[in-house]
Amino acid sequence: MTRGVYVTGIDRGDGRQVVELGVMELLTRQVDRVGVFRPLVHDRPDRMFDLLRSRYRLSQDPDTVYGLDYEEASALQAELGTDELVSRLVDGFHRVAREYDVVLVLGTDFAATQLPDELALNARLANEFGASVITVVGGKDQHAESVRAEARNAFRAYEVLGCDVMTVVVNRVTAEDRDAIADGLAAQLPVPCYVLPDHPALAAPTVAQVIRALGATVLLGDDAGLARDALGFVFGGAMLPNLLGALTPGCVVITPGDRADIVVGALAAHSAGTPPIAGLVLTLNERPADSILRLAERLAPGTPVVSVVDSSFPTARQLFALEGKLNAATPRKAETALGLFERHVDTSDLVERLSVERGTRVTPMMFEHDLLEQARAQRRRVVLPEGTEERVLRAADVLLRRNVCDLTLLGDPDTIRKKAADLGADLGAAELVDPATSDLRKRFAERYAQLRAHKGVTVELAYDVVADVNYFGTLMVEAGLADGMVSGSVHSTAATIRPAFEIIKTRPGASIVSSVFFMCLADRVLVYGDCAVNPDPDAAQLADIAAQASATAARFGVDPRIAMLSYSTGESGTGADVDKVREATGLVRAAHPELRIEGPIQYDAAVEPSVAATKLPGSAVAGRASVLIFPDLNTGNNTYKAVQRSAGAVAVGPVLQGLRKPVNDLSRGALVQDIVNTVAITAIQAQAAQEEESA
């Protein structure tokens, strides 16, 4: 039977979209088919559903999401009564419930409606839907005791009306009151109560939202600049030196359009990173001269400069009433919201209370969710040598907002900060290190010279070598100053992993460094090895790759069934190539009798049950293989790319295995999400490495 989760509140302004997003994140980790139902809606399309649909790749027909418009509901209730209204909405819910494993219900918003007793309507709908309730209470601008009282009253209100209240979430409290509110409610409520502090970036409008609200004309700015959060407003009427002292990170400067000195000065401050601003709004319908705009564009490329007709006072009145909203056009806000939810909610306990049984099918999204969750469970520090690369900065922004791991970025700190500011990326929690000027450079030169003395490397030569970001990052890992490293978005594979071979070296028991890709298909995750490092491994090396790949698969939740691939299955073929695979299979069986392995075996017999039933009946692996070991790099690399392109698989990797500490290489075409996934994998590998050291 489909289970419903009903997120509701008691009044407007509770910021429950953070909770709705967080609950959807948890549901999509457990099951593949999650539906959404909003009983009553103001406007279509609904911005929250649009966000959920784009972020979680929902295929649900938008027409099935909504029950009724508020106006329709009010007229129906007035004419035919509440029972008829509820009956219509129950029918709408069950149309969704028949198609999905679980349904997230977005309760009414208590905003400018003519429905009497909206709380009671939400409670009745939850009961009629058979849905458990998560009730959200807003705490903005309230004292701690007042918030606690509202939370108790909200729980009792829904409980008295017969609801199965799963948990209470108190949202938007001051950071100073959060612990006191949480401690008090833990003793006063029979269900868990989670307390989320107010986060300024969530309430801040983006520059694009400011432009829409003001009806402004864009003079300068790119998409990244328009996506910046407007964290404050500074009105520029003073002389430039006084204005510069008033600037704050992420502020929007409001000034008359004829103040060219303020336009140039504010953008120069942004360019220097002291501080980075979100943009400028020029009032009075005054446009600076073209020469000033050209200078502005060169000073701070991408930074928005917009013009409005009104003077500063009416502009200010509109801006101070403006509040940011989560929607599909604000992905960074969504990352911030999820990070806030995951930091302050016991997600493991909430998953249990949701009582959603995890499906056997593993989708790419589930796999990606699990990576972030595993990495977050035991935070590790990952060093990113390519700290000035745009995709790396965007990925770092996501990783930090989601609290996945700690980060060190290498490069000139001023350059990193400026590029991050231009992108609207928040690197506040990251460590920035310049290898060229770092106090660690001399120490690392001495260490590298010691490690490479047998190759004639002197300290003087090493001093130049370790200024290279990949060598510096690898030495940070070797010294324990970082737990792992990810590079390769603009460096070759050789440039990324050669320092690891020289400095990190193989772990005990591993004779070779190899790689795997996690191939996320529509209904399962397969592990391919080796598709990136070893051109033509011999039988012993192939056996080592298989054993390592099995351990890697298990570490990331893939039950390992190993297929040693060849052009022949079983005893049907002979020749040097198939004999190598046959020998490697025997070596694995002898060294690791606990592993399930089959080989030589053809790809179709390894993954397709009907073929396996003919070629290898009774095999524990054939038809169900999850770890596929290719006989050489040529075969493996071409196969993974063919599957990636033709089957639409998400390929995560290459993930290196066999090193004492994790270093991973990126494809130079890596997308931001690829980098996020690889960093999470590296953090998880670091957890395993530390466990092995402690054992």
570 has a pLDDT exceeding 80: no
109 has a pLDDT exceeding 90: no
To 10 degrees, what angle do helices 390-401 and 331-344 make? 30
Per the CB < 8 A criterion, the answer to whether 495 and 515 are in contact is: no
**Phi, psi dihedrals of residue 349, rounded to the nearest 5°:** -65, -40
Question: Can you tell me the mean pLDDT for 545-563?
Answer: 91
Question: Can you tell me the mean pLDDT for 380-387?
Answer: 96
> What does the chain come to in residues?
695
| pLDDT value at residue 507 | 84
Which residues face 656 on adjacent strands? Answer: 515
How confident is residue 1, by pLDDT bands cut at 50, 70 and 90? very low
pTM, 2 dp: 0.82
How confident is residue 360, by pLDDT bands cut at 50, 70 and 90? low
| pLDDT value at residue 562 | 95
CA distance 528 to 549: 8
Residue 177, burial from CB neighbour count under 10 angstroms (0-12, 13-18, 19+): buried
Question: Can you tell me the mean pLDDT for 616-642?
Answer: 91
Residue 580, burial from CB neighbour count under 10 angstroms (0-12, 13-18, 19+): buried
Of residues 395, 349, 390, the one with CA closest to residue 372: 395
pLDDT in tens, 193-218: 999 999 888 888 899 999 999 999 99
| pLDDT value at residue 148 | 92
Per the CB < 8 A criterion, the answer to whether 380 and 238 are in contact is: no
Tell me the CB-side half-sphere exposure of residue 579, using CA atoms within 13 A: 3
Tell me the CB-side half-sphere exposure of residue 453, using CA atoms within 13 A: 4
236 has a pLDDT exceeding 90: no
137 has a pLDDT exceeding 60: yes
Question: Can you tell me the mean pLDDT for 555-574?
Answer: 86
Buried b or exposed e, range 31-45, using 16+ CB within 10 angstroms = bbbbbbbbbbbeeee
Question: Can you tell me the mean pLDDT for 361-365?
Answer: 70
| pLDDT value at residue 263 | 92
| pLDDT value at residue 351 | 86
> Residue 510 is inside which H or E element, if any?
none
Radius of gyration in angstroms for the set of CA atoms belonging to the chain, rounded to a whole number: 29
Tell me how far the alpha carbon of residue 358 is from its chain's centroid: 21
CA distance 25 to 443: 44
How confident is residue 73, by pLDDT bands cut at 50, 70 and 90? confident
Instruction: Report which of residues 651 and 664 the model is more confident about.
Output: 664
Question: Can you tell me the mean pLDDT for 655-673?
Answer: 89
Question: Can you tell me the mean pLDDT for 579-608?
Answer: 92
CA distance 484 to 245: 40
pLDDT in tens, 18-34: 999 999 999 988 887 89
Residue 153's CB: how many other CB atoms inside 10 A?
12
243 has a pLDDT exceeding 90: no
CA distance 265 to 243: 9
Q: List Cα–Cα distances, 91 to 39, 86, 88, 97, in angstroms.
A: 10, 9, 5, 10
Task: Name the average pLDDT for the chain.
Answer: 89
Conformation bin of residue 67: beta by default, left when phi > 0, alpha when psi is -120 to 50: alpha
CA distance 471 to 448: 9
Question: Can you tell me the mean pLDDT for 308-316?
Answer: 87
pLDDT in tens, 27-70: 988 887 899 999 998 888 888 999 999 998 888 999 999 999 88
How confident is residue 573, by pLDDT bands cut at 50, 70 and 90? low
Type of residue at 183? D
Percent of the chain with pLDDT over 90: 51
CA distance 344 to 194: 7
Instruction: Report which of residues 391 and 319 the model is more confident about.
Output: 391
CA distance 229 to 234: 14
Q: List Cα–Cα distances, 474 to 457, 508, 511, 534, 665, in angstroms.
A: 17, 19, 20, 21, 12
How confident is residue 359, by pLDDT bands cut at 50, 70 and 90? low
pLDDT in tens, 637-660: 999 989 888 887 888 888 999 899
Question: Can you tell me the mean pLDDT for 547-558?
Answer: 90
Question: Can you tell me the mean pLDDT for 259-278?
Answer: 88
Determine the 3-state secondary structure of 308 from DSSP: coil
580 has a pLDDT exceeding 90: yes
459 has a pLDDT exceeding 60: yes
Task: Map out the domains of the chain with their CATH numbers.
Answer: 3-200 (3.40.50.300), 207-320 (3.40.1390.20), 360-505+669-688 (3.40.50.10950), 510-658 (3.40.50.10750)
Question: Can you tell me the mean pLDDT for 429-442?
Answer: 94
Q: Which DSSP symbol is given to 162?
A: T
